[in-house]
Homo-oligomer: A and B are copies of this chain.
């Protein structure tokens, strides 16, 4: 189809090796020839065929990212940060979505291996140990989120849920709240367990008795049910911490439909700082876990693993930060 490196070489009157050396900045070419090659490349509009390049060179300079669900508001910003950073580092990036389906998870892993990626960021929990072994066997670097411990080719990023939750509890305490309920997510999900544990620990650290704890589903509906239940409680908690923003929205809807005012009658907090928190009415007090930064850190972590001859998996900590909105306020008993 398009032009090849040979066409360029012929047009300049040099060998293909010289053109290749110029394009890959190997610096073995004289200034005059160098400039001439570059201008000719631009003039002809030559583009190196990426497949040929990846095939010929040992290093594919490619990374993959596997997410469970692009529509889940957690992921777009992570992806954005990841794409930006890998691009900066000179990697090609491929994205796969699994939609929580183990079969598609497997397909995604296969795609990564067929692409011969240097590393892959795994952002879904439906990932069988067999697939991980397979990737490791092929010396493909991996990063996980909140999951497996780090080892040779595997690095892990841990979001500091504990700190985020602790900040909320301290803030609510300062505002005068003493009875603080918690609406949890799915029992088996690691990131959820972590938040629940952190809640219990932080409460005790502030000298408060944890509870009541209700169980949601990480979705709007679960939050709604929890909100309705809390509205009926007696004595009623003065504040509700939800495991994530979406749950918080549901909780708020439940409380409001039971006739309570937020934050005058009861305070509500979320987690994750999605757009929802910002645009919800009232805006939600939440915790920013810097998802774009997280994406960048994942890329850096993979890059570190890829470029080392003897990779040592590490653990990274991602900080969390309280963001106060209009859904919470002082409590005067």
User: Chain A: residues with CB nearer than 8 A to chain B?
Assistant: 1-2, 45, 47-52, 54-55, 60, 70-71, 73, 75-77, 79-80, 83, 92, 94-95, 97, 110-111, 113-116, 134, 138-139, 220, 246, 249-250, 252-253, 256, 275-276, 278-281
Contact = CB atoms under 8 A, between A and B. Distances in A.
Contacts of A55: 49, 51-52, 55
A77 B71 contact: yes
Name the residue among A45, A114, A134, A139 with the largest chain B CB count within 10 angstroms: A114
Contacts of A47: 110, 113-114
B80 A97 contact: yes
A279 B281 contact: no
A45 B280 contact: no
A37 to B, nearest CB: 18
A275 B276 contact: yes
B115 A50 contact: yes
Copies in the complex: 2
B278 A281 contact: no
A70 B79 contact: yes
Report whether over half of chain A's contact residues are helix, strand or loop; otherwise say mixed. helix
Contacts of A45: 134
A114 B49 contact: yes
Contacts of A139: 1
Given A70-B76, A71-B80, A256-B281, 18 more contacts: A1-B116, A45-B134, A50-B111, A50-B116, A51-B60, A51-B116, A52-B55, A70-B70, A75-B76, A76-B76, A92-B111, A94-B94, A220-B279, A246-B279, A249-B279, A249-B281, A253-B279, A276-B279
Contacts of A83: 70, 97
Nearest to A70: B76
19 contacts: A47-B113, A47-B114, A49-B114, A50-B111, A50-B114, A51-B115, A51-B116, A70-B83, A71-B76, A80-B97, A83-B97, A95-B95, A220-B279, A249-B279, A252-B281, A256-B281, A275-B276, A276-B276, A281-B281
Nearest to A278: B220
A83 B104 CA distance: 12
Contacts of A281: 249, 252-253, 256, 280-281
Given A49-B55, A83-B97, A279 B280 contact: yes
Contacts of A70: 70, 76-77, 79-80, 83
A69 to B, nearest CB: 8
A78 B157 CA distance: 29
A77 B2 CA distance: 34
